Amino acid sequence: MELYRFLIRCAVYLVCLVAAWYGMSAVNYEKILRKGHVRQAQILYFMIVIGLAYLCGSFVLALVYQF
């Protein structure tokens, strides 16, 4: 039973990661970043995507396991 829940959680977080990555691609964040800081901007982008995916995944899992 634990393996089943682990696989469900991984699938939910993976779907949320893809959705967050796809959603963040619509944001033009280049206007607020300084020029010449490309690597730092990529790290920030990745951290925002990971954080957003975690929050969305936790929300979905809380809704599913609530009932």
pLDDT tens digits for range 19-44? 999 999 888 887 888 888 889 989 99
Total length of the chain: 67
Q: What pLDDT is stored for residue 6 in this prediction? A: 93
Q: What is the mean pLDDT of residues 47-62?
A: 96
Domain that holds residue 28: 2-66
CA–CA separation, 61 and 12 (whole Å): 8
CA Rg value for the chain:
15
pLDDT band at 67 (very low <50, low <70, confident <90, very high): low
User: Percent of the chain beyond pLDDT 70?
Assistant: 97
CA–CA separation, 53 and 61 (whole Å): 12
Q: Which helix (H) or strand (E) holds 24?
A: helix 2-24
CA–CA separation, 53 and 31 (whole Å): 23
How many folded domains does the chain comprise? 1
